[in-house]
Amino acid sequence: MSQAHVEQVIGRLVTDERLRRRFAAFPGATLQDLIDRGLELNDCELQALAAIDPRRVRRFAEALHPSIQKAEIKGGRS
């Protein structure tokens, strides 16, 4: 079950601009919030995800087609 949650985190990081920005600034807190919302990650997975380079995530996200991106609306709430 946990591997599916790892994949969900990675998928959300590359498709959700707001989450990606938050992760870049506060990786540990962002992941803990996802855990608090029900994602199951063990300590090893949590550490591995927290160590992901946010710049690489952003570059990958920029390579994706805009139709599968969740864009952040400036000044808006999501």
pLDDT in tens, 8-45: 999 999 999 999 999 999 999 999 999 999 999 999 99
Q: What is residue 78's predicted lDDT score, i.e. its pLDDT? A: 47
pLDDT exceeds 80 at position 75: no
pLDDT in tens, 39-68: 999 999 999 999 999 999 999 999 998 888
Q: Which tokens sit at 54?
A: 């946010």
CB atoms within 10 A of CB 6: 17
- How many whole angstroms separate alpha carbon 67 and alpha carbon 22? 21
pTM across the whole model: 0.83
Q: Do residues 56 and 27 lie in contact, with contact meaning Cβ atoms separated by under 8 Å?
A: no
